[in-house]
Amino acid sequence: MKTIHTAAIDLGATSGRVIAGVYTDGKLDMQEAHRFPNQFHVIRERCYWDVPGLHTHIRQGLLKAKEMAPGLASCGVDTWAVDSVLLDGDGRLVFPAHAYRDERTLPYVDALAKGGVDKVYEWTGIPNQAINTSLQLQELLDLYPALPEIAQRCLLLSDYFNFLLSGVQENEISNASSTQLLEVNGTKYSRDALNFFGIPSKWFHGPSLAGKLLGKVVGIEGLEETDVVLVPGHDTACAFDAMPTDPDHTDIYLSSGTWSLVGFESDTPVAGPEAMVESVSNERIGDGRYRPIRNIMGLWLLEQTLPAFRERPRSDEEWEELIRAAEAEPAPGELIDVTDSALFNPASMKGAIDAQLQKRSIKHPESLSDYTRLICESLGAGHATAVKTFERLTGKKFDRMLIVGGGSKNRLLCQATANHSGIPVVSFSLEGTAVGNIANQLITLGAVKDLAAFRARLLGQLQKTVYEPE
């Protein structure tokens, strides 16, 4: 059978990578072509992404992937959700890209909570969150009333990198659904939501379903024959596509990284006032179906606590040591409330955690292993609450939780999740986002029939660890 070479360009908020996929005889091998750190930069209290830097890394990564496999058939881009760029009529950037942790949207969250939130949820199925594209654009439009004359198009970051690679401007549906501007009962942008936020409808087109060829790579010498595939632009959509779900089970999924995204696949949204109160986000799969999720703060809490400790781990061995020490700590009696907005982007995460505990008259931990135990245990409880909420709202019963992403390698987190939720947790130690990205390329190229076929093959190939509730 023919070997097919693809490259997943997978950008996360704290690191990016270009992964080369080698697909032969139904078996997928993945090799890292390029990995680089990513972070937002703060200039005069505003948070921005280094978009030109990311573009340079994408080009370098693709060239390395091409060196590894001269017959590179295709590439695809996925990124974190919600952040966007505005382009003028020539495709030129109107603003640097703002990052979603910028507090500029907080007054807009309050304003929406005071008026309109129910309507907006009814139209879009997306809850009121500071990160939403809707509020980010509303803030810019308030500051710059002439913006609609200058900006002709809004692309989420995955769409923008697709444009740089292929010359084609498309809004892809999975990332479009994170904007709070897509209608929940259809696949078009919601006129009501666009009008409500005062956002020009010309800024968004389509959106397109994932799974189409955008064209050949332009502007990178040597890649003229490589196709750019429109994969699900949202990294979480790709991660969920990679879940090697067993059709005999009723599985709930957790994509565990900077964020913990707990949810499942569905033909219908989880809508209504109760879903709104529970912050259910009706995001979309690349094929237009639903992926109701709850967005929990995730390992960001631990990543941001580390800098407060000189002994923070810097290698795999040191991480292993830290997790072992944290496992040996007694289970904490009281947990952190992981939904506390004070943990969203504090100057010091340790300080913010301590302040939360102090408010509740709880003594804060001392050592890094204590904090690690507390954070993992609290996240486990957060994951369990999300499972129970979905069971209550849908009448479903989930038998197992499948985990992919960085957190799937964290035994403490997986065990805490199993203990709190009372169901087995199955960890695949998988770079889910890159796998899902490549799966979508293979399906679009016609090498794999569909997602079900891909998952069945992947399942046969993977090692899994099962954490039973204790």
User: Which residues contact ligand LRH by CB under 6 A?
Assistant: 12-13, 80-82, 100, 131, 234-236, 258-259, 261, 295
**Nearer to ligand LRH among residue 69 and residue 182 (C-beta):** 182
DSSP element (H, E) containing 27: strand 27-37
Distance (Å, whole) CA 253 – CA 79: 19
**Nearer to ligand LRH among residue 10 and residue 377 (C-beta):** 10
* Nearest distance, CB of residue 180 and ligand LRH, angstroms: 11
Q: Which of 194, 208, 170 is nearest to 91 (CA)?
A: 170
The runs of H, that is alpha helices, within 190-336 are 191-197, 235-241, 273-277, 300-305, 316-328
Contact between 400 and 418 under an 8 Å Cβ cutoff? The reply is no
* Nearest distance, CB of residue 335 and ligand LRH, angstroms: 22
Distance (Å, whole) CA 259 – CA 169: 28
Distance (Å, whole) CA 174 – CA 81: 9
Given 102, 235, 241, 287, which residue is catalytic? Answer: 235
* Residue 235 is a catalytic residue: yes
* Nearest distance, CB of residue 438 and ligand LRH, angstroms: 18
Distance (Å, whole) CA 115 – CA 120: 10
* Nearest distance, CB of residue 325 and ligand LRH, angstroms: 28
**Nearer to ligand LRH among residue 7 and residue 130 (C-beta):** 130
Distance (Å, whole) CA 324 – CA 344: 27
**Nearer to ligand LRH among residue 157 and residue 442 (C-beta):** 157
**Nearer to ligand LRH among residue 121 and residue 259 (C-beta):** 259
Q: Which residue has the tokens 């040191």?
A: 318
Q: Is 198 left (phi over 0), alpha (psi -120 to 50) or beta?
A: left
* Nearest distance, CB of residue 171 and ligand LRH, angstroms: 16
**Nearer to ligand LRH among residue 236 and residue 421 (C-beta):** 236
Q: Which of 73, 66, 55 is nearest to 16 (CA)?
A: 55
Those residues with Cβ within 8 angstroms of residue 118's Cβ, 6 or more apart along the chain or in another chain: 273, 276
* Nearest distance, CB of residue 133 and ligand LRH, angstroms: 10
Amino acid at position 14, single letter: T
The two tokens of residue 126 are 């997306």
- Catalytic residue positions? 235
